[in-house]
Chains A and B, each alone.
Chain A
């Protein structure tokens, strides 16, 4: 069974700070890495799907990198804003059927 781990569990930053957090996964039999953003009382929203080692993806102030050889991905937020407050989930296909296995998430709070 694939274990997807995220750290830190929670993070509190001031508006304007840049921040980053980590998703780690087994590097063997890697297939893909998904990042989602989940605001309270809303639906999880897809940010990125990453498949290639060394890949870097960007969406506005949010970017992500992928290292499949060592089994980690970083999510970066530049100049955090209060509207970035959410739980950020990562997931990777695993298990017997290759369905998505999710981490517990990193809960980000941005104070104005």
Chain B
């Protein structure tokens, strides 16, 4: 399997549930990203990991908790979400994660999350 994969593709959860989104990249990249896309809004960066260290937390509420156990895997743990958190969550990776990088980011297909 190649590229960036995400599971699950669709997730429906209640506000009191705990769930996790998984992302895996098979490209040998050093940086991984979580983005959120809400309706009518551009892609918004949530978190950046470079060499398994978190280098960016873009003012994301603590009910979203990322984890990067190794350079190939990235998780987004979800707890006590709100209906307004319903969105498409995209994972991406790039060779390097330095600031102002010209590296192409490779995206997964996303997880469509619905919070009831």
Contact = CB atoms under 8 A, between A and B. Distances in A.
Interface of A: 4, 31-32, 34, 36, 41-46, 49, 51, 89, 91, 93, 97-105
A46 B27 CA distance: 15
Interface residues of B, number: 25
Interface string B35-51: 00000111111001000
Interface string B94-112: 0000011110111111100
Contacts of B105: 34, 46, 100
B14 interface: no
Nearest to B106: A46
Nearest to A46: B104
A42 B43 CA distance: 15
A99 B99 contact: yes
A98 B99 contact: yes
B99 A97 contact: yes
Given A43-B3, A43-B4, A104-B41, A98 B100 contact: yes
